[in-house]
Amino acid sequence: MKFNDPLVNLFKKEFRNILDILRDTELTSYNRAVLNSKLQEIGRVLINLDSSTKIWINHVYPKYWDATIKTAQDYFKYIEAPIKAYTFTGIHLETVRLAMEETYYDIARGLRYVDYSAKRIIQESAKEIIIQGKIKGITLTESKKILEKKIENIGVNAIIDKGGKRWSLDTYTEMVLRTKTMKLANDTTLNYCIDNGRQYVVINPHDTECPFCAPWQGKVVSITMDYDPEIAEGTLDEVEGSGVFHPNCLCTYSPYVPELQEYKYRYRDELFDNLDKASDDTYKEIRNAS
């Protein structure tokens, strides 16, 4: 599974770059011009990441939609069901558009918080260094230790979640992209089922010890509240309400077709393969256009 790797790898690279910029900041004496220069340097990195995020999701999300539709259509070929022609309009267009907006909003929020964290690290380090310098003098080595301590304590965070966990820019971005990509794939599958009159889906089983996801692996559930209890063990809303499809979740579901249950593992594998290919094709497109 490597979808979104090109953008994730860029964020990992630039996150290290931001840390290097911070650690290279000269703080033995307060020089506003020097500090502003460092903050502007970090700002340029963040602007580049913001632009790269827009380009990536605008190119790849329609391809992720297409990859999911292809996976579902290939699945139904096994029973020679008529394949409906799809166009990127209506509910499908709105699903992708919403996914793009949500992804960009979440990543942009992380970039803004990193900008705030970097400013706070430099400002608080400079303040402490000035105070210590006036009291007893300070060496370059001592100032570097203060700066490193501020980086450790404050953190170059993209977000601090409700549980108090700190997310660095790269891990946060990877989590957002993984979560939103899986949501887009599942929402597209749901739309496909509705379009083709399929009321039930299967939670595709995979190796997981997640206490939320494990109980639902391989279970058939209904898209609607009214269902046959001899077929389904609950509803898709109940699955989500129990904690499945959480951040970083890799759970997927496929249309329930009794004749094809022996292919339930394969569906998820084919979906991931198609998403990986869409990611690779997008990277080549963007690289060739630049």
148-157 tens-digit pLDDT: 999 988 888 8
HSE-up (13 A, CA, CB side) for residue 43: 8
Total domains, the chain = 1
Residue 289 in any domain: the answer is no
Q: Is 111 within a domain? A: yes
Backbone angles phi, psi at 202, to 5 degrees: -110, 130
Domain extent for 38: 5-283
Distance CA 157, CA 34 (A): 23
Whether the pTM exceeds 0.85: the reply is yes
Q: Which tokens in the block code for residue 162?
A: 């409700």
Return the percentage of the chain with pLDDT > 70, whole number: 94
Enumerate the β-bridge partners of residue 203. 253
Q: Which residues contact 5 (CB under 8 A, 6 or more apart)?
A: 279
Give tens-digit pLDDT for 90-144: 999 999 999 999 999 999 999 999 999 999 998 888 888 877 766 666 777 888 8
Task: Please report whether residue 288 resides in a domain.
Answer: no
- Please identify which residue in the block is written with the tokens 């991931």: 272
- Tell me the CA distances in angstroms from 83 to 70, 72, 80, one per residue in order: 10, 10, 8
Note whether residue 290 is domain-resident: no
Model confidence over 222-264: pLDDT tens digits? 999 999 999 999 999 999 999 999 999 999 999 988 877 665 5
- Cα distance from N-terminal residue to C-terminal residue, the chain: 26
Does residue 61 lie within any of the structural domains? yes
pLDDT digits 0-9 by tens, 34-93: 788 999 999 999 999 999 999 999 999 999 999 999 998 888 777 766 677 778 889 999
- Asked whether residue 81 is assigned to any structural domain, the reply reads yes
Residue 276 lies in a domain: yes
